[in-house]
């Protein structure tokens, strides 16, 4: 039975981290809201137990799994998309949760006051927050992931895991949102560039990347506002 | 063998979510940095593999587990502090990750620009962010947790889990940081008040609450700035 994935239509958002591992792992799923619309999502979510606080969530049989890291840990264990040994699984979860932390901080560069307000209404605050993000947070997080990779092909173990597809989305999204800054930061961190290319070349995943199932960045977490970017 | 817990001294912070479940579950641990200091923590963390991005992390034998939700999932599975069935475990993880999201948003009410700057240097931005937090985010998150409790004693299943001790820290911390606002919000959500009392009365936990192992709120995530609070 194919998984039901529920996530907002129109933005890659946090749903993308689930979508990419399902795609790269060749796991069957239905992207429900893209077939039925966001109103159907809201209705569906309200009746699920445990009720998700927000999308994405995954439904399989009687099981409802919400929160991205929770979904990925489930898929990792169930479909061999994380190591079988405990240390490897915990390492994957650790990287995933750190990626999620950086994703939240990325979002807050353009929405530092309230996610319910327009960017234009918090532009001044965004300028300050983005400056700190570029100067302090980007090098700190990204050099951490480069160290975690070291000379290895993958973050954990000797084959790709969901931590790798998640790092792909993060780095790819940051390149979209902060092209100047990423060029400067990545110049010192070749491991990130090599890793991105390696993930993009995974057979099932490279198909996805050029398919219309993939939504472009621009809305949601990773947005390009030239005034928030700098070397 | 007792677990080694590593977390900054001087603040309850995210380490508190680990500490409370170890305490309430009667699981032996050494609070390493409180014995050896923050410098020892920094040194220890740098040599661990996988390297934690930040404390808290737990060490047991060869295993290093970082990221709060990851640590709690481990402890839940290992020590019966989460349900044994898959649906219950996933529900616990879901609630924990949603609590973590609210914790991050709470922190950002006083540090909306940069965690490396003083509150005084981002007070103007904090005023706006805190207002949105009080008006929109607090009712949204807290009514969600009250709905999740419903008429049950515990968030998941028929005995307490780490999701319950985490919700305790969250609600207790919010009462400290936003006393006026919490009074107003909790008036409509009696389930939260009852739940907090129920957790506080757990035998091992009630001992902890009055011990000097417990650090007071005031620094770290939950801070009381009267100007950020309102009904």
CB contacts < 8 A, A to B, total 112
Q: Closest Cα of chain A to B125: distance in Å?
A: 6
For residue A34, what are its two tokens? Answer: 């893209």
CB-CB: which of B62, B94, B156 is closest to A67? B94
CB-CB: which of B67, B104, B129 is closest to A93? B67
The confidence score (pLDDT) of residue A192 equals 98
Which of B53, B88, B106, B129 is the best residue to mutate to test the A interface, defined by the most A CB atoms within 10 Å of its own CB?
Answer: B53
Query: pLDDT for B208-224, tens place per residue?
Result: 999 999 999 999 999 99
For residue B2, what are its two tokens? Answer: 């007792």
A112 and A126 Cβ atoms separated by less than 8 Å: yes
The confidence score (pLDDT) of residue A1 equals 84
Residue recorded with tokens 């006083």: B110
Sheet containing strand B3-6, edge to edge, reads: B29-31, B3-6, B57-60, B63-66
Q: How many helices (H) and strands (E) does chain A have?
A: 11, 4
The confidence score (pLDDT) of residue A37 equals 98
Q: Which of B116, B118, B113 has the alpha carbon at shortest distance from A129?
A: B113
The confidence score (pLDDT) of residue B1 equals 84
Q: Is A34 on the interface with B (CB under 8 A)?
A: no
CATH tag, A3-79 = 3.40.30.10
Q: What is the 3-state secondary structure (H, E, C) of chain A?
A: CCEEEECCCCCCCCHHHHHHHHHHCCCCEEEHHHHHCHHHHHHHHHHCCCCCCCCCEEEECCEEEECHHHHHHHHHHHHCCCCCCHHHHHHHHHHHHHHHHHHHHHHHHHCCCCCCCCHHHHHHHHHHHHHHHHHHHHHHHHHHHHHHHCCCCCCCCCCCCHHHHHHHHHHHHHHHHCHHHHHHHHHCCHHHHHHHHHHHCCHHHHHHHCCCCCCCCCCCCCCCCHHHCCC
Query: pLDDT for A172-181, tens place per residue?
Result: 999 999 999 9
Beta bridge partners of A5: A31, A58
For residue B20, what are its two tokens? Answer: 């409370």
CATH tag, A86-201 = 1.20.1050.10
Residues above pLDDT 70, as percent of chain A: 100
Q: In chain A, where are the structural domains located?
A: 3-79, 86-201
In this structure, how many other beta carbons lie within 10 angstroms of the beta carbon of residue B153?
15
- Most distant CA pair in chain B: distance in Å? 49
For residue B65, what are its two tokens? Answer: 């587990």
CB-CB: which of B66, B91, B113 is closest to A129? B113
In this structure, how many other beta carbons lie within 10 angstroms of the beta carbon of residue A161?
27
In this prediction the ipTM stands at 0.98
A-chain residues near B17 (CB < 8 A): none
Which of B48, B64, B97 is the best residue to mutate to test the A interface, defined by the most A CB atoms within 10 Å of its own CB?
Answer: B97
Q: Is B26 left (phi over 0), alpha (psi -120 to 50) or beta?
A: left
Q: Closest Cα of chain A to B66: distance in Å?
A: 6
| Closest B-chain CA to A87 | B63
Q: Domain spanning B86-202: which CATH class is it, in words?
A: mainly alpha
Q: Is A101 on the interface with B (CB under 8 A)?
A: yes
Q: Please say if the pLDDT value at position B18 is more than 90.
A: yes
Selected residues 152-211 of chain B with any CB under 8 Å from a CB in chain A: 156
| Closest B-chain CA to A112 | B112
Query: pLDDT for A50-96, tens place per residue?
Result: 999 999 999 999 999 999 999 999 999 999 999 999 999 999 999 99
A-chain residues near B128 (CB < 8 A): 113-114, 122, 125
């Amino acid at each position: 039975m194919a998984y039901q994935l529920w996530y907002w239509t129109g933005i890659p958002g946090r749903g993308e981290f689930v979508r990419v591992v399902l795609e790269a792992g060749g796991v069957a799923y239905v992207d429900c809201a893209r077939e039925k619309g966001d109103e159907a999502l809201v209705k569906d979510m309200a009746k699920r137990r445990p009720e998700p606080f927000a999308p994405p969530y995954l439904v399989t049989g009687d099981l409802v799994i919400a929160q991205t890291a929770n979904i990925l840990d489930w898929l990792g264990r169930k479909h061999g998309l994380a190591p079988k040994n405990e240390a490897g699984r915990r390492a994957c979860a650790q990287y995933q949760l750190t990626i999620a932390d950086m994703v939240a901080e990325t979002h807050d560069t353009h929405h530092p006051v309230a996610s319910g307000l327009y960017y234009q209404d918090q532009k001044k605050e965004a300028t300050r927050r983005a400056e700190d993000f570029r100067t302090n947070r980007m090098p700190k997080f990204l050099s951490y992931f480069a160290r975690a990779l070291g000379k290895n092909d993958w973050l954990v173990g000797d084959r790709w895991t969901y931590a790798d597809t998640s790092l792909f989305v993060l780095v790819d999204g940051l390149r979209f949102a902060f092209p100047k800054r990423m060029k400067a930061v990545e110049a010192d961190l070749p491991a990130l560039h090599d890793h991105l290319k390696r993930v993009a070349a995974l057979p099932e995943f490279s198909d996805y990347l050029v398919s219309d199932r993939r939504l472009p960045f621009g809305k949601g977490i990773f947005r390009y506002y030239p005034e928030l970017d700098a070397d």
